[in-house]
Structure 1
Amino acid sequence: MRKLMLAVGGSLILVAPMSQADVVGLGASVSYWDSDLSGKAATNNDVVDVENDLNLDNDTNANASLYVEHPVPVLPNVRLNYTLVQQSGQGELGADFGDITTVGTGVNVRSELDLEQVDFTFYYEVLDNWVNLDLGVTARDLNGELLIQEQGGANRVNRTEVDAVIPMGYLAARFDLPLTGLSVGAEGNLISYDGDSLHDFNAFGQFEIALVQLRAGYRQMSIDYEDGDDRLDVEIGGPFVSAGVTF
């Protein structure tokens, strides 16, 4: 079931003067994110701790982005970002969860968590000099599934799923250190509405030489989202490194 949250804070009204690029600019990057997971998942009134009960460990992280900037007034610049987090583990349920019943004793389970999101961000350059500031909105296509499978016995399976297209506010700031190729910055997406909330922030240091752009920093993503009877309330955070090219 897709649930569209239709609130974006008034701070995202882009009334400041916009700075347009002088020429068309392109950029792309890939990154490695060494993330840890914590939080809970729920189906109906059953709750499981994804870290302590399921022992989920980081297996796969895929992150890539692409952006296009242009000199056309009024029209926003566009950024596309893809994130995939896959974790698996073996743990023990101490209480019933969905179709898996414990009958007063613990049940050994194997679990897999897949979180996939595609961000389409439309933004304007408010400042474009040694201080860079972008403001915009992001449409995030979020798909998440937690599969818990009983080991032995009836071999029962339970799935907790969220599937939504969510509008979020977007903000990015970068401060260039003159004549060094070095800069520091931060960027993020955020929304909170009717008990659901999502945020995705990162802070970084960057070194740029010729067309190559290298970054290192810390990223934290929080998802507290309900879709029907299913709910994910998890945090994913850790350091990242990325390499990209700009034209």
Structure 2
Amino acid sequence: MRKLMIVVGGSLALAAPLASADILGVGATVSYWDSDFSGEVVNKDSAVDIEKDLDLDSDSNANFTAFFEHPIPVLPNVRLNYTSISQSGNGEIGPEGFDGIFSADVRSELDIDQFDATFYYEVLDNWVNLDLGLTARKFDGELVVRDTVIGGRVSKTSVDAVVPMGYLAARFDLPFTGVSVGAEGNVISFDGDSLHDFNAYGQYEIAMLQLRAGYRQMSIDYEDDDDKLDVELSGPFASVGVAF
């Protein structure tokens, strides 16, 4: 498998001297993302539409986040995030075929797992909050398509990569209400491959509890040898978290 490894030298230097957290802080959130899938998967010279041909439905989309912030100016804060996406469905491959499967009813499973380690600095930290940093993202995606005929062909398409991405998060707090609105995202584009992951949300905070709801969109356009994943996921999400 081809690994996309990009060194983005010096990018954090823009943010490092600007700001840091005032106090020590830790937190964690868990969320559910009700996403719709669209796009295609390519195996060698054949392609399949995951929405029209495979009729995939969401089985589970889970997301876990933890962060650690500190008042040391030179060192970045750390944010860890894990997203697991599982889709399955029954569809039909036409006479044009996909990876040796022709004119057949199929059962398909698509799984995408990604782990982010984000290193960021707080540029602003008051009613207006702004974080800048870099994310190292490890993602794995696999599509398995099975001809439903007994003894039928099984096709497997997989991509995996470790990529750095730019990270930005902004939030505006409505004073004395516990209510805030914000957005955050990761993005990179290099040599024909691109990934982006954005969300916008509203949040209500009471004591140490944070309740958040919003909309998230993620796009993966990545080629790994003869396999290619070109998909987009989007939909609403809700999360609950604690911060100390």
| Contact 1:12/1:169 (<8 A) preserved | no
Aligned residues: 243
1:153-197 CA-to-partner distances (Å, cap 9, x unmatched) read: 541111110111111000000001111110100000000000000
Q: CA deviation at 1:14?
A: 1.9
Aligned CA distance change for structure 1 residues 29 and 9 (closer, same or farther; 3 Å) = same
The answer to whether the Cα contact below 8 Å between 1:35 and 1:236 also exists between their aligned partners in 2 is: yes
CA apart distance, 1:18: 2.2
The aligned runs of 1:221-232 (5 Å cut-off) are: 221-232=218-229
1:152 and 2:149 correspond: yes
Return the alpha-carbon distance in structure 2 between the equivalents of residues 245 and 159 of structure 1: 40
2:124 aligns with 127
2:14 corresponding residue in structure 1: 14
Equivalent residue number for residue 97 of structure 1: 98
Q: 1:120 to 1:161 in 2, by over 3 A?
A: same
Distance 2:98 2:125 in 1: 52
Amino acid corresponding to residue 216 of structure 2 in structure 1 = R
Q: Displacement, 1:22?
A: 2.4
Structure-2 change in CA distance of 1:77 and 1:11 (3 Å): closer
Say if 2:15 and 2:121, in contact at 8 Å, map to a contact too: no
Alignment-derived partner of residue 187 in structure 2: 190
1:115 partnered with 2:116? no
In the superposition, the TM-score normalised over structure 2's length comes to 0.96
Output the aligned Cα RMSD: 1.6
Residue number in structure 1 paired with 2:74: 74
Shift of 1:5: 3.7
Per the alignment, residue 36 of structure 1 pairs with: 36
Q: 1:170-181 residue pairs with structure 2 within 5 A?
A: 170-181=167-178
Q: Distance in 2 between the 1:119 and 1:189 partners?
A: 10
For the residues of structure 2 that align with 1:8 and 1:229, how far apart are their CA atoms? 26
Paired with 1:107 and 1:10, the residues of 2 have a C-alpha distance of: 52
C-alpha separation in 1, matches of 2:88 and 2:239: 24
User: Given that residues 15 and 132 in structure 2 are in contact (C-alpha distance below 8 angstroms), is that contact kept between their aligned partners in structure 1?
Assistant: no
SS in 2 for 1:65: strand
Q: How far has the Cα of 1:9 moved from its partner?
A: 9.9
Retained in 2: the 8 A contact 1:60–1:85? yes
Q: Can you give the 5+ residue segments of structure 2 that lack an aligned partner in the other structure?
A: none
**Aligned twin of 1:53:** 53
Identity %: 67
Gaps of 5+ in 1: none
1:21, distance to aligned residue in structure 2 (A): 1.6
Task: Give CA-to-partner distance per residue, 1:118-171, whole Å, 9 cap, x none.
Answer: 000000000101110000000000000000000105411111101111110000
Instruction: Give CA-to-partner distance per residue, 1:41-63, whole Å, 9 cap, x none.
Output: 00111010000000000011110
Verify the 8 A CA contact 2:16 2:121 in the aligned structure 1.
no
- CA offsets 1:183-227 (integer angstroms, 9 cap, x no match): 100000000000000000000001101000010000000000000
